Amino acid sequence: MCETCGCGDTSELKIHDRQHSHEHDHDHTHSHDHNHENDHEHSHTHSHDSVLFTHSQDHGAKKVISLNVDILSDNNRLAQVNRKSFEERNILSLNLVSSPGSGKTTILEKTIKALIANRKIFVIEGDQQTLLDADRIEKSGAPAIQINTGSGCHLDAKMVDTAFKKLDVEPNSILFIENVGNLVCPALFDLGEFKRVVVISVTEGDDKPLKYPYMFKSSHLCIINKSDLLPYVDFDVDKTMEYARSLNPKLEFILLSARTGEGMDLWYEWLGKQK
């Protein structure tokens, strides 16, 4: 198992269906004791761009299979299925990513309270442990389902598919997927969302986009939260925007404070414009 974050071990994965109190366990086991010769003698290069072509050559009993298949293709395929499900039901699906403590859950609580009268909102909550965030979301008035990834560090398309079906998300609603707090791993995993929203807060360094380029490159909107604390910290909003734009020129920005409500109207306006 990964010594840093344990990702890949799905034995602890739990999806808590809060309406039907039903738990779902996956049971993958992998043993860890391998002894193989790793002589790196094949360093030939391949220039095939096609992902799905397959051909074989026979060499006696041995056979070489040329695959050139993207290792994330399974996740990407399932993400496409999710995306189609969301689109067919006119569900606005947003994947919220950030480091822990940037205020994703608070933003969602405030958003639910402000918008729930006009549009149904559903939330898929991803955390390593506990039901705390789903409890907070439900208190705000939106149905939520909690995925506990155990020691895993990100949500993937399969987890979202399972949670989406259990949550029974209604057509024409907004589905927020609050990813595990982590600016590294969730960047690689498409969940099928319509747009990805990265949240940073002004108590973090303004050089975050440079340090975690994959996340900022793959997002559509960047929310800079905790703007009420700007007088007390050295965070340079313009510099952050400049760094992030250098990676992703199309990235949009909203500066807000979920705590005081400042700038939240811009976020609601942005949500209203997403079709």
Partner 1 sequence: MHEFSLAIEVIDLVQREAEKNLAASIREITIEVGDLSGVEADAFESALELLVKDSILANANINIVRTAGKGKCNACNNEFEMKYRMATCPKCQCFPSEISGGEEFRVVSLVIE
Q: Which residues bind partner 1 (CB under 8 A)?
A: 1-2, 4-10, 28, 30-34, 36-46, 51, 56, 61-75, 152-154, 156, 182, 184-185, 187-189, 210, 213-214, 217, 246-247
CB of 73 to partner 1, least distance (A): 8
CB of 206 to partner 1, least distance (A): 15
Query: Between residues 143 and 186, which has the closer beta carbon with respect to partner 1?
Result: 186
Query: Between residues 144 and 153, which has the closer beta carbon with respect to partner 1?
Result: 153
User: Which has the closest alpha carbon to 255: 241, 244, 271?
Assistant: 241
DSSP code for 227:
G
CB of 135 to partner 1, least distance (A): 27
CB of 61 to partner 1, least distance (A): 6
End-to-end, the C-alpha distance of the chain in Å comes to 41
Query: Between residues 168 and 242, which has the closer beta carbon with respect to partner 1?
Result: 242
CB 190 within 8 A of CB 196: no
What phi and psi values does residue 145 have, to the nearest 5 degrees?
-130, 135
CB of 70 to partner 1, least distance (A): 5
Give CA–CA dist 79/73, Å, rounded. 10
CB of 158 to partner 1, least distance (A): 11
Burial of 232 (0-12, 13-18, 19+ CB in 10 A): exposed
Please state, as a whole number, how many other Cβ atoms lie within 10 Å of the Cβ of residue 233: 14
Query: Between residues 82 and 182, which has the closer beta carbon with respect to partner 1?
Result: 182
Query: Between residues 210 and 230, which has the closer beta carbon with respect to partner 1?
Result: 210
Strands 174-178 and 92-98: parallel
Strands 195-201 and 252-255: unpaired
What phi and psi values does residue 266 have, to the nearest 5 degrees?
-65, -40
Query: Between residues 58 and 234, which has the closer beta carbon with respect to partner 1?
Result: 58
Give CA–CA dist 248/145, Å, rounded. 32
